[in-house]
Structure 1
């Protein structure tokens, strides 16, 4: 229940920031994708059915606020979670560097996957003009990811949740 509440609060704050940021900044690439950061944290540090459901719910909440194709963000966020989960099961340590890398590629994969699913695979050949702004958004999101991971870790400790996978001896709750 604590995990649900923590990620619900952070998802609401993240969606509010992204929605408000779209009104403040005219250049969308300057707004980080906070939901992807949350999905990566769930995938790297929390295993089981509940984190997968939380990733889907965060994506679905994104669809409810800004999705032009219902379920598309839910699908892509769940895919980012699953990739993060797989990476964490293959590595002995799921540190911030791994998280930053997964966030960077997760933002790019989410955007390109959304375009491919919504408009067809053939539409990917016309994504050239969007790649610079997409790369900038992925870079900005990856840049703030360690800070978000740190804030999440602090709140997890405060409410008594473990901060990492059982395989990572440095991240177990003490």
Structure 2
């Protein structure tokens, strides 16, 4: 229950920041994608059905506010969660560097995937002019990801939740 409440608060704040930021900053590429950071954190540190449902709900909340195709962001956030989960089960340690790398590639793949699914895969051939902006947004999001991970970890500790993934606890306890 604490996990649901914690991520609900962070997602609402993240969506508010992204929505307000889009009105304040004229260059959309300068606004980080916080929802992807939250989905990566869920995948790296929380395993089970509830985190997967939370990732889907985060994407669906994004769809409700800004999605032109209902369910597309929900699908993408679920995929980000699943990839992050898979990476965390394969690596011995899922630290902030691994998370930031996952965030960078997730922003790139979700942006291009959204374009491909929404407009057809033929639309990917005309994404050349958009790539610098997408790369900039992915880079900015990856830079702030360790700080957001630290904020999430501190909040989890304050609420009495475990901050390490089950795999990290297993390795640490040996």
TM-score (norm 1): 0.97
Please identify runs of 4+ aligned residues in structure 1 that moved more than 2 A: 169-172
**Preserved contact between residue 55 and residue 77 of structure 1 (Cα < 8 Å):** yes
Q: CA deviation at 1:167?
A: 1.5
Matching residue of 1:144: 144
Secondary structure at the residue paired with 2:167?
coil
Q: CA deviation at 1:171?
A: 9.4
- Counterparts of 2:109 and 2:164, CA distance in 1: 24
- Counterparts of 1:62 and 1:166, CA distance in 2: 28
Matching residue of 2:121: 121
**Preserved contact between residue 164 and residue 171 of structure 1 (Cα < 8 Å):** no
- Counterparts of 2:104 and 2:88, CA distance in 1: 16
- Counterparts of 1:128 and 1:108, CA distance in 2: 13
Matching residue of 1:100: 100
Q: CA deviation at 1:170?
A: 9.1
**Preserved contact between residue 36 and residue 77 of structure 1 (Cα < 8 Å):** yes
Structure 1 unmatched ranges of 5 or more: none
Matching residue of 1:34: 34
Matching residue of 1:89: 89
TM-score (norm 2): 0.97
Matching residue of 2:8: 8
Q: CA RMSD in A?
A: 1.2
Report the CA distance shift for 1:151/1:170 in structure 2 as closer, same or farther (over 3 A): farther
**Preserved contact between residue 108 and residue 134 of structure 1 (Cα < 8 Å):** yes
- Counterparts of 1:136 and 1:78, CA distance in 2: 23
Q: CA deviation at 1:169?
A: 3.7
The count of aligned residue pairs is 172
Q: CA deviation at 1:18?
A: 0.1
Q: Is structure 2 residue 151 aligned with structure 1 residue 154? A: no
**Preserved contact between residue 47 and residue 166 of structure 2 (Cα < 8 Å):** no
Could you say which structure has the higher helix fraction? 2
Q: CA deviation at 1:165?
A: 1.1
